[in-house]
Amino acid sequence: MTTLVLDPPQGRSTLPFIDARHPQRPLQVNVYRPARHRPEDEVVFVQHGMLRNGDDYRDFWIDAAEKHNLLIVAPTFGNDHFPKAEGYNNGLVVGADGAIAAEDDWLYAVPARVLAALRQAGVTKRDKVRLFGHSAGGQFVHRLLATQEQTPFETAFAANSGWYTLPTLERRFPEGLDGLGLGEAELARWLAWPMVIFAGNQDIVTSDPNLPAQVEALAQGPMRYARAHFVLDFAKAEAARRGLACNWSLITVPGIGHDGAAMSRAAAACWFEGRIPTAEELKPEAAPVA
């Protein structure tokens, strides 16, 4: 049986969701629904970090949700059913045997099906929504854009990713796009998408045990902030080499490190107030949340 309808109550909720392509891997959808939110109003999808804490990431957006009347939707991929980077950041694309899964089974299609379930319930009428992901969620977001030909997302921020899939067909996934059955048209589509790399300029720790440290990641730089610049430079160079447009950009958040709460507040202000607040306004967490 698959969940086809999601109808969250007002306020905070955590709803079970059975994806049609992964019936044996239940997930949760953490939602915040303001009392005044109507089906025509804005929707923000939020992808959590490696702690699989979609409830925290939902809560990071509650102040903005009330201020700007936003439905917050945080699909949450628990460790039990979506273990390790392969089961979340890397989208269940590569199996334990190294084989590439069927494209329909890649996790990057799940958020669109969550939106479809909300639309089915009449919670929203919107067919275009916003997407934010931090840390492992930033990895999820940019790989979603790389691999999905059509998405319901009108804008997307990939924040403080540990490392990046590069826009090249010459390196094996997840370092590049080789092996996925994607070609020149898909690469051109991704480079043309106005993806925003959202980077805290104090995300410069090199000794974080959760910072990817494989050879391919280290080749992108010693810390997350450097890797954000690396991937943008790589994309621009690759696009120029191929004679393609590159519509990616990088927005720096001054004074903020690897802090999912502060980066969420910064993204909300950027989208709905047209500004990046100061570090003092963003209230960096004493113990930043991944």
- Mean pLDDT for the stretch of residues 57-64: 98
Q: Is the per-residue pLDDT at 17 higher than 90?
A: yes
One DSSP character per residue, the chain reads ---------SEEEEEEE--TT-TTS-EEEEEEE-TT--TTS-EEEEE--TT--HHHHHHHTHHHHHHHT-EEEEEE--TTTS-HHHHTTTTT-B-TTSPBPPGGG-GGGHHHHHHHHHHHTTS---S-EEEEEETHHHHHHHHHHHH-SS-SEEEEEEES-SS---S-SSSBTTTSSBTTT--HHHHHHHHHS--EEEEETT---S--TTS--SHHHHTT-SSHHHHHHHHHHHHHHHHHHHT-----EEEEETT--S-HHHHHHHHHHHHHHSS---HHHH---SS---
- Total-model pTM: 0.97
User: Cα(274)–Cα(5) distance, rounded to whole angstroms?
Assistant: 34
Higher-pLDDT residue of 1 and 218 is: 218
Residue 166's pLDDT band, with cuts at 50, 70 and 90, is very high
Beta bridge partners of 159: 134, 198
Q: Is the per-residue pLDDT at 10 higher than 60?
A: yes
The pLDDT value recorded for residue 285 is 74
Residue 109 backbone dihedrals phi, psi, to 5 degrees: -90, -10
Domains observed in the chain: 11-282 (3.40.50.1820)
Structure tokens at 219: 């080749």
184-192 and 136-147 helices, crossing angle to 10° = 130
The pLDDT value recorded for residue 3 is 53
Q: Is 158:141 a contact under the CB 8 Å cutoff?
A: yes
Tens digit of each residue's pLDDT (9 = 90 or more) over 65-124? 999 999 999 999 999 999 999 999 999 999 889 899 999 999 999 999 999 999 999 999
User: Cα(225)–Cα(39) distance, rounded to whole angstroms?
Assistant: 37
Q: Is the per-residue pLDDT at 286 higher than 90?
A: no
User: Cα(110)–Cα(95) distance, rounded to whole angstroms?
Assistant: 18
Q: Which amino acid is at 244?
A: L
Q: Is the per-residue pLDDT at 2 higher than 90?
A: no
Tens digit of each residue's pLDDT (9 = 90 or more) over 176-211? 999 999 999 999 999 999 999 999 999 999 999 999
Return the CA Rg of the chain.
Answer: 18
